[in-house]
Chains A and B, each alone.
Chain A
């Protein structure tokens, strides 16, 4: 029987059984406005997204590059708030059960009240929360409430993360481990660093959790490579956000382009499962 949304373990099991990797597109809630970004998400889901990463816009997104910061600015200009962000999730839940992860900066959670934020997240159908500027050192309250409300606390690891931190983070994390593909902030890049593939191998040795690679994944070829190296999924952000930016004046073309790219990216995950 189906009780509420699909969980991360269920989703990773589903794609694995089909010998696929998970395709996880990212969008900033409210970019360029609530209505359009809801249509964008719909296209992503219809094109085969296995899960979603939804960013709540923040005025000072230090972990993000210019593309996503510009999306945050557009969303905030269109009147996005934390309440509207949750409303956005509620609307997505009207048409899909796939896992939804939030990508947020800590101040938004802190102002809402940590407990209140997690409670609203659960109520509206969020599966996981990744806080871009919250390393394990500061995460004890977030973890407490993630457990209380049954939300997976997701953490990032990077090339610079030592082995001892890797094991520590694997123990705290739930849902999946977010592997940062590049040194630096989010943004589309043309080649994938050799180091990224080594990092996937290294992370694999420290965790049984699924691994998803994000930051700088922009081509079908990147997806194939990271899945082959042992990743369970790929998170694609900046190239999609670039399409929103490019076609913000022509919604029809925007949605068509998003659909076309998502279909291609999803296709790249097929036959590449670990």
Chain B
């Protein structure tokens, strides 16, 4: 192994011995191709021509006025498939192609990552199997249909709690069984090494563009960068370009669900240290270490773990993580829709709500904020209309 995959004491490779050769192979391929000219040329091509990069850094007018801050949106919602997830699936999909793999597997909760993987399967001609909890399949029929249209097979997961964490378990089991020809395309900056490092690498394009764009527009760095945190990939992607600029506040908005005493997905805010899905990080669990079920109004933040680098950034004080409750996120959703005509994904609505709270503090008046708008809200119409009593 080239690296131990540690971020401070977090991260690592907590997997069955059977997976070690696959992880060694993946790690070595990743370090080989991440700086390879042909690989990057091809990746840039697809990011530009297929996914729609670069995305704009949009200066909001009415929202800025309303909140008394200068608010920019990094428009990942404009990407193909509607979210930042495609940055990662393109990167890993291309890596699988360079590695000579013949099949992709992925886990998905709400279906966003599943769709982004199915699309890459179609693009590169990989047979693709997506594991999805049977509970999630019931809740997200439309996304299942979208994946199937792109040629993916959606496999219903009946084990455990039948949600995202169980789909990850099933995908890991599949990978254990089919390591020879299969690439497991993990959807966030979590899992065993090299995934957290690799997913960050492929998502860091968000940060690189944002930094360049803000310097072009403002000739100075922002005061704060705010992103929602599920597994942590869109957040680490945008944070990556500002990690060394200590003057830039980095804030992660977690799925606070019903709050600390209710069901939630705010792993860093309310969880404790533990080992889940291959790495040491913060997790939601009981005293014995049995993993809890997470809950958030947005399926993408509904995960009881979090990427290990966020754990380090939190304990070192480099980033702050704040729980945003379901009802606050819905307010953020409406706020951006109404003031800017941009309907955010419910995940991203957490970042919007977090920015609103930040802007309302007197000491933050007039500051410059970048919100990472990780995705668009089309997929959430059903649930939001239900919550608003519109019943579309």
Seen from chain A, the residues whose Cβ lies within 8 Å of a Cβ on chain B are: 58-63, 65-66, 69-70, 73, 76, 81-82, 105-108, 110-112, 132-135, 137-138, 155-158, 160-162, 165, 169, 180, 183-185
Contact B13 A137 (CB under 8 A): yes
Q: A61, A81, A108, A183: which contacts B177 (Cβ < 8 A)? A: A183
Contact in complex: A60, B291 (CB < 8 Å): yes
In the complex the two chains form, what is the Cα distance from A162 to B18 in whole Å?
Answer: 11
Q: Chain B residues near A82 (CB, 8 Å)?
A: 288-289
Judge whether A180 and B276 touch: CB under 8 Å: no
The answer to whether A110 and B289 have CB atoms under 8 Å apart is: yes
Q: How far does the alpha carbon of A112 sit from the alpha carbon of B272 in the complex, in Å?
A: 13
- Distance (whole angstroms) from the CB of B27 to the closest CB of chain A: 12
Alpha-carbon separation in the docked complex, A110 to B275 (Å): 8
Quick check: A183 and B176 within 8 Å, CB to CB?
yes
Residues in A whose Cβ lies below 8 Å from that of B20: 135, 137, 160-161, 165
* Contact call A66/B159, Cβ cutoff below 8 A: yes
Would you give the shortest CB distance from A118 to chain B, in whole angstroms? Answer: 15
Q: Is residue B172 within 8 Å, beta carbon to beta carbon, of the partner chain?
A: yes
**In the complex, A150 Cα to B159 Cα: how many Å?**
36
A47 to B: closest C-beta gap in Å: 29
Interface flag for B14 (CB, 8 Å): yes
The residue from A60, A70, A133, A184 contacting B15, defined by CB atoms under 8 A apart:
A133
Q: Are A60 and B16 in contact (CB under 8 A)?
A: no
Which B residue sits closest to A106, measured CB to CB?
A: B275
B residues less than 8 Å from A132 (CB atoms): 16
User: What's the interface size class on B, roughly?
Assistant: 35 or more
Tell me which residues across on chain A come within 8 A of B52, comparing CB atoms: none
> Pick the contact of B289 from A107, A155, A183 — CB < 8 Å?
A107
- Chain A residue at minimal CB-CB distance from B20: A135
- By Cβ-Cβ distance, the 9 closest A-B pairs, closest first, are A111-B289, A184-B177, A107-B289, A160-B21, A63-B16, A59-B290, A107-B275, A158-B18, A59-B291
Provide 26 A-B residue pairs closer than 8 Å at the C-beta atoms, listed in order of the A residue.
A60-B291, A61-B169, A62-B173, A62-B176, A66-B159, A69-B159, A69-B169, A70-B159, A81-B288, A106-B14, A107-B274, A108-B289, A111-B274, A111-B289, A133-B16, A133-B278, A134-B14, A137-B4, A156-B17, A157-B17, A160-B22, A161-B17, A161-B21, A183-B179, A184-B18, A184-B173
Closest B residue, CB atoms, query A136: B17
Given A111-B285, A180-B18, list of 9 further CB < 8 A pairs?
A: A60-B276, A62-B277, A63-B18, A73-B160, A81-B288, A135-B16, A160-B18, A183-B176, A183-B177
